[in-house]
Copies of this chain bind each other. A is one copy, B any other.
Amino acid sequence: MARGVNKVILIGNLGKDPEVRYFPSGDAVANATIATTETWKDKQSGEQKEATEWHNVVFPGKLGEIAGKYLKKGSKVYVEGSLRTRSYDKDGQKRYVTEIRVQDMQMLDGKPGGGSASMGEERGSYSAPSPSRSSAPARSAAPAPAADAPFEDDDIPF
């Protein structure tokens, strides 16, 4: 259940291959960045301008496995998810990072997986179990603490 709505919809390209990690439980989680670009004409100079926004996305569980298998740098994807701002500690100071926890994903490339991958049953799109129904908090989709973890999550109450 939710009080309120917290929904994000993105279509963009991956900035790098997804990084897949695993929880001790065996559950996967993949991290990636997605670029969306706005272009506009400057009212003063009349020149074409553009700005690219980079989004941190987290694919929990089975979605993480699929992302790791079929998405790569440059892949065009649709993702639907929710915003979550996590705090972590850096040099004794609290920092924040805002991520999109993905709940639904669609691959939009003409030839996903390089074009020759066979179309498995779970390929191409996948929806996470509805967070509202899950007995486990969607919150647990956060990256597992790992040696190469970008953030020290130890003191975050996942």
Q: Which A residues are within 8 Å of any B CB, using their own CB?
A: 1-13, 35-43, 48-49, 51, 53-55, 76, 78, 80, 82-85, 95-98, 103-104, 106, 108-111, 121-122, 124-139
Contact = CB atoms under 8 A, between A and B. Distances in A.
B98 A37 contact: no
Nearest to A99: B98
A62 to B, nearest CB: 10
A95 B152 CA distance: 17
B85 A98 contact: yes
Nearest to A48: B121
A132 B137 contact: no
17 contacts: A2-B37, A2-B38, A3-B36, A3-B39, A4-B35, A4-B37, A5-B80, A5-B104, A8-B8, A38-B138, A76-B108, A83-B83, A83-B98, A98-B98, A103-B130, A109-B110, A130-B130
Contacts of A76: 108
Contacts of A48: 121
A40 B5 contact: no
A111 B76 CA distance: 13
